[in-house]
Amino acid sequence: MSQATVAVVAGAGGALGHATVAELAARGFAVAAVDRSEHAMSDLSVSVLKVAADPADSAAVAGAINRIAAEVGPPGVLVNVVGTFSLGEALGTTPETLRLMLDVNLGPALWLSQAVAPHMQQQGSGAIVHVSARPGLEPTSGMAAYSVSKAALVHLTRTLDLELRPHGIRVNAVAPQLIDTATNRATLPAEVLAHAVAPEAIAGVIAFLVSEAAAPVSGAILPAYGA
């Protein structure tokens, strides 16, 4: 019997992270969860290795991936759902806001990819999925720093694909518009939430992208905008 593919889910403490961990575990992956908050991962399945590490810290990320490789096995899949959000027009954006958006929405994608790539290269295969957003593909007013950080993530995804595809590693991204989470339900009006997509639905798209069924798909930014 072949050994289960190891899948790392970074940002596992949030709603989309939880849904992705559950979806991949149900599909037979050996899942390892990474989040900066150990408490946020406390209700994940006991079969999931939980590693507390700040995804924005490159050294912490490298240590987390090395621990996963040693305890569970070399990662063959990386799903990065780490992200944060901020409203604000371009002319009012502060250095602190821009730095935060880039540190959280862009940095972890690079550090995580750097950490898993050697393991995948050694295996001769791998699949990486990052989570961008519609404003990263289509300019949107009123969320300048966020949009720019997600657009940078889109470009990084495509660059990583060009660099890693020759090693058998596929890199793609999913771009939701609005995810139906408890936080969004508490802060957004009902008419806006009517178009939100369930985390489980996004997790299903992610699971497809890391599956053998998506073997021909590489360098894609897949819209998941909902109705």
- Residues annotated as catalytic (active site), given as ranges: 146
Which residues, 6+ apart, have CB-to-CB distance to 78 below 8 Å? 7, 8, 10, 112, 113, 116, 126, 127, 128, 129
Distance, CA of 141 to CA of 85 (rounded, Å): 14
The residue written with tokens 């700040």 in the block is: 54
C-alpha–C-alpha distance, residues 206 and 171, integer Å: 12
Largest Cα–Cα distance of the chain, in whole Å? 58
**Side-chain half-sphere CA neighbours of 27 within 13 A:** 23
Contact between 33 and 9 (Cβ < 8 Å): yes
Please return the burial class of 211, using the count of CB atoms within 10 Å of its CB with bins 0-12, 13-18 and 19+: middle
Sheet holding 30-35, edge to edge: 49-52, 30-35, 6-10, 75-80, 126-131, 169-176, 221-224
